[in-house]
Amino acid sequence: MDFALLFDHFFEYTITGLALGSIYALIALGYTMVYGVLQLINFAHSEVFMFGTFAVVWVLFAFHATPASSTAAVIGYLAVALVVAMAVSGGIALLLERVAYRPLINRNAPKLVALISAIGASFVLSEAMGLRDEIAKKLHIDGGIGRYIAKARETSSIPIDINPKTLFTVGDYGVTTIDLLLIGAALVMMLLLDQFIRRSRLGRGIRAVAQDPEAAALMGVNATRVIQTTFLIGGMMAGAAATLYMVKIGTTRFNAGFILGVKAFTAAVLGGIGNLRGALLGGLVLGVAENWGSAVFGSEWKDVVAFVLLVLVLLFRPTGLLGESLGKARA
Amino acid sequence: MTRLPSLSFGGRVDALPKWSKVLLWILLALFFYALPLLELPVIKTPDTDFAGVLFTVAIYCLVALGLNIVVGYAGLLDLGYVGFYAVGAYTVGVLTAAHASWPYLLVIPVAVIVAMISGVILGAPTLRVRGDYLAIVTLGFGEIIRLVITNLSWLGGARGISGIPGPPSVPANNADGTVTDPLFEIPHLVWQNGQPLVDLDNKTKFLKFGVIDAVPYYWFALSIIILVLIADILIKDSRVGRAWEATREDEDAAELMGVPTFKFKLLAFAMGAFIGGLSGALFAGKQGFINPQSFQLLLSILFLAAVVVGGQGNRWGVLVGAALVVYLPERFRGFEEWRVLAFGIALMVLAIYRPEGVIPPRQKRRAKKMQQEIEALEEGALDDAEVTHG
């Protein structure tokens, strides 16, 4: 135990923890929204995120970005990458809903079965990415895309260097542009989404289905459409998270989604699953707790700290920090 | 396909006289004991040691029986079952190799009890948490166990523990390690153009637990499975089994009827942990070495998949599920890199087309029929009500 390290670098650990937590929070949204509407653990959501990270890498490849690219160009590329990643992740999430969930929802199958279907879908998606070279070969489209499918089982990294600038210092830690970008983007997106759920017509539909699917159907809410929207929004947020993640970390793998998915799901439960603000709070708390834990106990214990925190919170607040329910998010 | 229950497979077996039923079960058990010796051409895994695969199948079957008590009978979603498996395996590792050198057979009961205690320790605070939260808490527990064994050098750290002894051979080997003659040897079969021949070059030494031949381990595991199955049947049909069922179907109603639901949930958890620890102990004895890599979260998910795919709540179903989950990827090892993809597709297809599992429990089928009858009745009653009001 080494509290001195934490106290000496308190702001560094806290701010980088918040930045990490922002990514968790954005992924957690996908879990929490689907749970709010369907009461299902969308196990394959981590793969939706993973596809987003690859979309970012491929967009940068397509622009022939190099470490020598100018800053303005890099920002432009990343903006395009953000849009593409959101589209790709949203698309994968919709596909997932169509293939793995809708047949089960229509048949009113037990929840656990939907979980198994999602686990299957998760394997399929991550393996499809891990086998992309083989698949391309089978389809005879491996001619011009060698760079995109090379070393499918290994780590892919973005072809640019991102050198964060220090903007200002808090305590003794220089806050970088990346930290600010991550935290700011997460906050803005959460705010927009929160307003969307509260004020828009579709948002009202989502809340109605979350509260009482039958009554919502009787009132003329198209449940299938609401579910699709939920998956789409969750997927797009995962795409945004993927872009931020690639800016911060820079590398991805076909199985990179799994551990982040577990963390994000933990964050969602921590904040109160089904609750949008809970996802944000849970993500940030988890990110900070992990960083503090790694300072005090050593970095190999940070996941233990995260899970112990989760267990403790659930023991004293069995429905998470902010309580559950998307439906009851006040209008 | 006939719809008469008396003519279904189960119904026909039930109708047989008792002695022939017993004979049938004994024959079935004998078949499974003989399976690795028969070397059946289509069933046999072409690229891996078939007996080794059968041993893994047996371990998964045992785990599935344990998890079935938790998930299928008591209705508690457990995503961290691998934690108990790890506790069992590591207790064996610590007491036989790392920090003491107790005999393996003595350590098994200790490992099982340690796993059970860990189940109670985890269950007592967390079983008050509802449904899906329980899933994530147990998932967290499984991960905590794995991370702790990875980080504690006392438990071997990432390198794990090696040199774990297996069950003792009968008759015992010499003190200097040379192998004594077995009681007897059983030759395997070899198939040539569909003709079974006795292969005298390939013999299994009865009760000799060595490194190369996995058959004795498989027999050992199979015997334990049979014992666990008998215990499972006795418990399921007892007061405890009915209490679990009541708790699963409606916890509040069960509590009102005087079932101490918390106590029974904890019991289910402890029994699940008991069997999980037992399978871990068997795994450690066969493998000889264990490291944190063997206890990934993915394993918990595979265990759960085995239970749900087979048909949660039906002990024969989960055995089939466990066998499928291990056997299919091994049988099709020829497709090496595609097999996980195929497994994922298989999971989805099974979930969508057989949502109740390959072999659903009997009362589920009955309940489904009952539900339809009630619905038909209710609709009739509604019509009557409308008539009187009108």
Which residues on A lie below 8 Å from B140 (Cβ)?
A: 266, 307-308, 310-311
Mean pLDDT value across chain B: 83
Q: What is the pLDDT of residue B341?
A: 83
Cβ count near A71 (within 10 Å): 10
What CATH number does the domain containing B73 carry?
A: 1.10.3470
**B258 torsion bin: left (phi>0), alpha (psi -120 to 50), beta (else):** left
Q: Which amino acid does the sequence have at A99?
A: V
Residues B366-374 have a mean pLDDT of 81
Give domain status of residue A296, yes or no.
Answer: yes
Its pTM stands at 0.81
Please name the residue of chain B whose CA is at the shortest distance from the CA of residue A302: B147
Mean pLDDT of B287-309: 86
More confident residue, A276 or B15: A276
Give the DSSP H/E element, type plus range, for residue B344. helix B339-353
A323–chain B Cβ distance below 8 A for any pair: no
| Residue B124 lies inside a defined structural domain of this protein | yes
- Range of lowest pLDDT (A79-93, B62-76, B260-274, B300-314): B300-314
pLDDT band at B335 (very low <50, low <70, confident <90, very high): low
How far is CA B257 from each of CA A75, B59, B261, rounded to the nearest angstrom?
Answer: 65, 38, 10
What is the number of domains present in chain A?
1
- Answer yes or no: do A113 and B308 touch at CB < 8 A: yes
Chain A residues whose beta carbon lies within 8 Å of the beta carbon of residue B148: 304
Spatial separation of the C-alpha atoms in residues B245 and B239, rounded to whole Å: 10
pLDDT for A166 equals 82
Residues of A in contact with B301 (CB under 8 A): 119
Nearest beta carbon to residue A131 from set B301, B309, B337:
B337
Q: What is the residue whose two structure tokens read 């795919």?
A: B309
Alpha-carbon distance A272 to A326, whole Å? 10
Beta-carbon separation of B126 and A311 below 8 A: yes
Q: Which tokens belong to B263?
A: 């106590």
Q: Return d(Cα B66, Cα B73) in angstroms, integer.
A: 10
Give the separation between CA B46 and CA B42, rounded to whole angstroms. Answer: 9
Q: Say if B203 falls within a structural domain.
A: no
> Does residue B4 belong to any structural domain of this protein?
no
**Which segments of B288-314 does DSSP mark as H helices, in order?**
297-310
Parent domain of A265: 3-144+188-316
A329 lies in some domain: no
Q: Which amino acid is at A252?
A: T
Contacts of B352 in chain A (CB under 8 A): 100, 103-104, 117
Burial of residue B176, with CB atoms counted within 10 A of its CB: 0-12 exposed, 13-18 middle, 19 or more buried? exposed
In this complex, do A310 and B140 lie within 8 Å of one another by their Cβ atoms? yes
Structural domain span for residue B353: 47-168+209-383
Closest CA to B233 of B74, B363, B69, B357: B69
Nearest alpha carbon to residue A277 among A102, A25, A15, A12 = A25
How big, in percent rounded to 5, are the helix, strand and coil portions of chain A? 75, 5, 25
Closest chain A residue to the Cα of B122, Cα to Cα: A311
Structure tokens at B119: 């189940």
Instruction: Say if residue B23's pLDDT is above 60.
Output: yes
Residue of B316, B233, B222 lying closest to B31 (CA atoms) = B222
Q: What is the pLDDT of residue B10?
A: 67
Q: A115-129, A316-330, B43-57, B308-322: which range is least confident on average? A: A316-330
Contacts of B133 in chain A (CB under 8 A): 269, 273, 314, 318-319
Q: Which member of B132, B344, B355 has the closest CB to residue A107?
A: B355
CA A329 distance to own-chain centroid: 21
Q: What is the pLDDT of residue B68?
A: 93
Cβ contact A186:A280 at 8 Å: yes
Under the banding of pLDDT at 50, 70 and 90, the label for residue B6 is very low
Q: What is the pLDDT of residue B334?
A: 65
| Residue B390: per-residue pLDDT | 41
The CATH number for A102's domain is 1.10.3470
ipTM exceeding 0.90, yes/no: no
The answer, yes or no, to whether residue B205 has pLDDT greater than 80, is no
**Which three-class secondary structure state does DSSP give residue A147?**
helix
Q: Is A279 on the interface with B (CB under 8 A)?
A: no
Q: How many domains does chain B have?
A: 1
Cα within 13 Å of Cα(A212), Cβ side? 6
A105 lies within 8 A of chain B by CB: no
Q: What is the pLDDT of residue A124?
A: 92
Question: A175 lies in a domain?
Answer: no
Q: Which two tokens stand for residue B332?
A: 């099709």
In a domain, B357, yes or no: yes
pLDDT at B85 over 70: yes
Whole-angstrom Cα distance, residue A38 to residue B194? 53
Which residue in chain B is spatially nearest to A117 when comparing CA positions?
A: B348
The CA distance from B160 to B204, in Å, is 30
Would B144 be classed as within a structural domain? yes
Q: Which residues of chain A, if any, have pLDDT below 70?
A: 1, 324-331
Chain A residues with CB-CB distance to B349 below 8 A: 120
